[in-house]
C-alpha cells in the first residue's frame, strides 16, 4: 500500500521528468515501444522507493531508476550479446581514446554530421556504457555529477567514458559512409 | 581502465571544457595549451563537432501522451491509476477534450498552454521543496500585503477557512518574465495554489477550463479584470468544488478592497 505522502513526492519528482526518462530508455533499448515499458516499470519502482527514499537530485535519481529498469529489461528480453558488456575494463579494448586526432580532419565530421540518419546510427552503434553517458550528457543535458549519480559510476569514469564516446563517434563519422 | 597518460588527461579536460565543467584556473591553463598545440585544437574541433551533431540530430524526444498519462496516473489514488492504464481512459482522466482527443494525444498538453504548464511546474517545485509558500500565514491580512510588495498585481486573498480550505500562505510564481502572486490553500494534507494573472497573460475573460500538466490538475478562468489559475494534486471534482467556492467568495467581497 502506497502512502499519500509517497504519492505526493512521486507527483513532484517523476512526471516532470518523463521526457528525460523516455529519451534515455529510448537510446538504451534502441526501441520506442520497449522504452515505454521500461519507463512504466521505472515509474512503479520510483513510487515504491519514495516511501523511504530521500531524494536530493530528482532528475538524476529517477534516471538512475530508469537506467536500472532498462538493464533488467534488456537482460530479460534481449539475447546475451546485446546486453551491457561487462565492466569498464572491457572498454579499453573496445575503443581507446584516440590521441592521433591530427590525422583526421574535423571537416570530415562536419560533412558527415549533415546526415542525421548516419549520426543516429553511429550513436546506436556505440557500446552501451559509452552510449548511456553520451545520452545523459548530450540528450538529457545532465551535469557530470548527475551522470555519476545516475550511472552509479565515479566521476572520473564518467569523464573518460564521455571522451571515449565522442572520440568513437568522431571516428565512425570520419570513415567513408 | 588503462593508464591514462598526460595526453589522455588533456583530452578529458578538453571535454570538460566543452561541457562547461572546468573551473576557471584549469580553463585558463587549457586555453594556453590550445594556443600552442595545433593537435589539441584539432581534437577540440572534433569533439565539439560530434557534440553538436548529436544534439542536432538526436534531440530529446517527448514521451508519448499515453505514457505521460500513465506515469502521471500512478501518483494518484489507486482506483484511478488502474483505469488510466488504458490510453484512452488516461486521456479522458487527464481532462483532454473529447472532440480534440486525437490531436491532443499527439500534441503534448504543455505546448498548448504555456501559462498553465509554467504554473504546474512551479507547483511541482514548491511541493518538492517542502516549502509550498514563502510567507506562511492563515491570516489574509498578512499574506495580502506581503504579496503586494513583491508582485505588481494585488490580490484579494479571500478567506475560505469556513468552507474547508484554510489559507496556508502565499508565494510569488514567475510566468515568463512576470512575477505573479500565488495564494496557497490547504485541503486535508494537499495544497491548492491559486495564481492571479494580469489579463494580458490570461488571454481575456473565459469560463473555467480544466487540464492536467505533469500530473497536476489545473483549472483556469478569467473575469473582466484578471485571470486565475488553480493548480493542485487533488481530484478533479474536489478542485472544481474549490474553484466554485473561491469564485463565489471573490464575487462577494472581491470588489471591496482592491
Q: Are residues B117 and B238 in the same domain?
A: yes
Q: Are residues B167 and B53 in the same domain?
A: no
Look at B46 and A137 and tell me if their CB atoms are within 8 Å.
no
Rounded to an integer, the average pLDDT of B160-182 is 85
- Taking the CA of residue B153 and the nearest CA in chain A, the distance in Å comes to 27
- Residues with Cβ < 8 Å from A153, sequence gap 6 or more? A147, A161
Determine the structural domain holding residue B51 and report its residue range.
6-57
Look at A96 and B216 and tell me if their CB atoms are within 8 Å.
no
pLDDT of residue A106: 66
- Residues with Cβ < 8 Å from B29, sequence gap 6 or more? none
What rounded mean pLDDT belongs to chain B?
78
Range A36-75 burial, b when 16+ CB lie within 10 A, else e: bbbbbbbbebbbebbeeeebeebbbbbbbbbbbbbbebbe
Q: Is the pLDDT of residue B31 over 80?
A: yes
Q: Which of B11, B53, B66 sits opposite A97 (nearest CB)?
A: B11
Look at A101 and B46 and tell me if their CB atoms are within 8 Å.
yes
Which of A61-75, A131-145, B109-123, B226-240 has the lowest average pLDDT? B109-123
Look at B15 and A162 and tell me if their CB atoms are within 8 Å.
yes
C-beta separation of A166 from A107 below 8 A: no
* Domain count across chain B: 3
Q: Determine whether domain A84-174 maps to CATH 3.40.50.300.
A: no
B1 within some domain: no
For testing the chain B interface, which of A5, A18, A48 should be mutated: the one with the most B CBs within 10 Å?
Answer: A18
Q: Are residues B36 and B117 in the same domain?
A: no
Task: List the pLDDT tens digit at each of the 177 positions of chain A.
Answer: 788 888 989 999 999 999 999 999 999 999 899 999 999 999 999 999 998 888 889 999 999 999 999 999 888 887 554 444 444 444 444 444 454 444 556 677 777 777 889 999 999 999 999 999 999 999 999 999 999 999 999 999 999 999 999 999 988 888 766
Same fold, A4-80 and A84-174: no
B73 within some domain: yes
What is the residue whose three cell numbers read 472532440? B99
Q: Is the pLDDT of residue B110 over 60?
A: no
Number of Cβ atoms within 10 Å of the Cβ of B133: 21
Domain boundary among B74, B89, B107: B107
Q: Which of B50, B128, B189 sits opposite A12 (nearest CB)?
A: B128
Q: Are residues B239 and B132 in the same domain?
A: yes
How far apart CA B232 and CA B237 sit, in angstroms, is 12
- Taking the CA of residue B124 and the nearest CA in chain A, the distance in Å comes to 5
- Taking the CA of residue A65 and the nearest CA in chain B, the distance in Å comes to 14
Q: Are residues B89 and B195 in the same domain?
A: no
How far apart CA A126 and CA A110 sit, in angstroms, is 19
Q: What ranges make up the beta strands (E) of chain A?
A: none
Q: Are residues B132 and B190 in the same domain?
A: yes
Q: Are residues B118 and B212 in the same domain?
A: yes
Q: Are residues B175 and B84 in the same domain?
A: no
Q: Are residues B121 and B201 in the same domain?
A: yes
ipTM: 0.84
Q: Which of A44, A88, A143 sits opposite B74 (nearest CB)?
A: A44
Rounded to an integer, the average pLDDT of B183-202 is 85
B237 within some domain: yes
Q: Are residues B76 and B49 in the same domain?
A: no
CATH assignment of the domain containing B248: 3.40.1000
- Taking the CA of residue B208 and the nearest CA in chain A, the distance in Å comes to 24
C-beta separation of B219 from B208 below 8 A: yes
Domain boundary among B46, B79, B107: B107
pLDDT of residue B129: 66
Which of A161-165, B25-29, B96-100 has the lowest average pLDDT? B96-100
Higher pLDDT, B115 or B205: B115
Q: Give the distance from CA B44 to its chain's centroid.
A: 37
pLDDT of residue B193: 92
pLDDT in tens, B200-210: 777 766 777 88
- Which bin fits A34, alpha (ψ -120 to 50), beta or left (φ > 0)? alpha
Look at B76 and A160 and tell me if their CB atoms are within 8 Å.
no
What would be the CATH architecture of the domain defined by A4-80? Orthogonal Bundle (1.10)
pLDDT of residue A23: 96
Residues of A in contact with B15 (CB under 8 A): 159, 162-163, 166
Q: Are residues B98 and B118 in the same domain?
A: no
**Pairing mode, strands B190-198 and B226-232:** antiparallel
- Taking the CA of residue B114 and the nearest CA in chain A, the distance in Å comes to 14
- How long is chain A? 177
Q: Which of A27, A116, A159 sits opposite B16 (nearest CB)?
A: A159
Look at B63 and A18 and tell me if their CB atoms are within 8 Å.
yes
Residues of A in contact with B128 (CB under 8 A): 9, 12-13, 58
B258 within some domain: no
Q: Are residues B40 and B79 in the same domain?
A: no
pLDDT range class, residue B254, cuts 50, 70, 90: low
**Where do the structural domains in chain A lie, given as residue ranges?**
4-80, 84-174
Q: Which residue does chain B place closest to A43, by CA atoms? A: B71
pLDDT of residue A103: 53
Q: Which residue does chain A place closest to B63, by CA atoms? A: A19
pLDDT of residue B107: 35
Rounded to an integer, the average pLDDT of B222-248 is 88
Rounded to an integer, the average pLDDT of B116-123 is 83
What is the residue whose three cell numbers read 534515455? A24
Look at A162 and B19 and tell me if their CB atoms are within 8 Å.
yes
Q: Which residue does chain B place closest to A117, by CA atoms? A: B57
Amino acid at each position: 500500500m502506497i502512502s499519500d505522502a509517497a504519492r505526493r513526492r512521486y507527483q513532484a519528482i517523476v512526471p516532470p521528468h518523463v521526457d528525460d526518462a523516455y529519451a534515455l530508455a529510448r537510446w538504451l533499448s534502441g526501441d520506442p515501444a520497449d522504452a515505454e515499458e521500461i519507463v512504466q516499470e521505472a515509474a512503479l519502482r520510483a513510487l515504491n522507493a519514495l516511501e523511504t527514499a530521500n531524494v536530493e537530485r530528482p532528475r538524476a535519481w529517477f534516471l538512475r531508476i530508469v537506467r536500472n529498469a532498462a538493464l533488467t529489461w534488456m537482460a530479460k528480453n534481449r539475447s546475451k550479446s546485446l546486453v551491457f558488456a561487462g565492466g569498464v575494463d572491457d572498454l579499453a579494448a573496445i575503443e581507446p581514446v584516440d590521441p592521433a586526432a591530427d590525422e583526421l580532419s574535423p571537416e570530415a565530421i562536419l560533412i558527415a554530421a549533415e546526415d542525421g540518419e548516419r549520426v543516429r546510427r553511429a550513436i546506436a552503434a556505440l557500446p552501451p556504457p559509452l552510449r548511456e553517458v553520451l545520452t545523459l550528457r548530450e540528450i538529457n543535458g545532465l551535469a557530470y555529477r548527475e551522470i555519476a549519480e545516475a550511472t552509479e559510476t565515479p566521476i572520473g569514469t564518467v569523464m573518460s567514458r564521455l571522451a571515449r564516446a565522442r572520440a568513437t563517434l568522431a571516428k565512425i563519422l570520419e570513415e567513408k559512409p | 581502465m588503462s593508464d591514462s597518460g598526460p595526453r589522455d588527461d588533456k583530452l578529458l579536460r578538453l571535454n570538460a571544457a566543452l561541457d562547461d565543467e572546468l573551473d576557471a584556473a584549469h580553463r585558463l591553463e587549457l586555453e594556453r595549451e590550445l594556443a600552442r598545440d595545433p593537435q589539441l585544437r584539432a581534437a577540440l574541433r572534433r569533439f565539439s563537432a560530434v557534440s553538436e551533431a548529436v544534439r542536432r540530430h538526436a534531440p530529446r524526444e517527448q514521451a508519448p501522451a499515453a505514457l505521460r498519462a500513465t506515469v502521471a496516473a500512478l501518483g494518484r489514488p489507486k482506483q484511478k491509476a488502474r483505469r488510466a492504464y488504458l490510453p484512452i481512459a488516461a486521456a479522458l482522466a487527464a481532462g483532454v477534450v473529447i472532440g480534440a482527443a486525437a490531436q491532443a494525444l499527439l500534441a503534448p498538453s504543455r505546448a498548448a498552454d504555456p501559462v498553465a504548464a509554467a504554473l504546474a511546474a512551479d507547483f511541482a517545485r514548491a511541493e518538492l521543496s517542502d516549502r509550498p509558500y514563502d510567507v506562511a500565514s492563515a491570516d489574509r491580512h498578512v499574506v495580502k500585503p506581503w504579496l503586494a510588495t513583491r508582485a505588481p498585481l494585488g490580490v484579494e486573498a479571500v478567506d475560505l477557512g469556513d468552507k474547508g480550505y484554510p489559507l496556508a500562505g502565499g508565494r510569488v510564481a514567475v510566468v515568463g518574465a512576470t512575477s505573479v502572486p500565488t495564494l496557497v490553500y490547504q485541503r486535508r494534507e494537499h495544497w491548492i495554489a491559486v495564481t492571479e494573472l494580469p489579463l494580458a497573460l490570461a488571454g481575456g475573460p473565459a469560463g473555467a477550463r480544466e487540464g492536467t500538466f505533469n500530473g497536476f490538475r489545473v483549472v483556469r478562468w478569467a473575469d473582466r479584470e484578471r485571470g486565475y489559475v488553480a493548480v493542485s494534486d487533488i481530484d478533479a471534482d474536489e478542485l472544481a468544488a474549490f474553484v466554485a467556492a473561491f469564485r463565489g467568495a471573490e464575487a462577494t467581497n472581491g470588489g471591496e478592497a482592491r
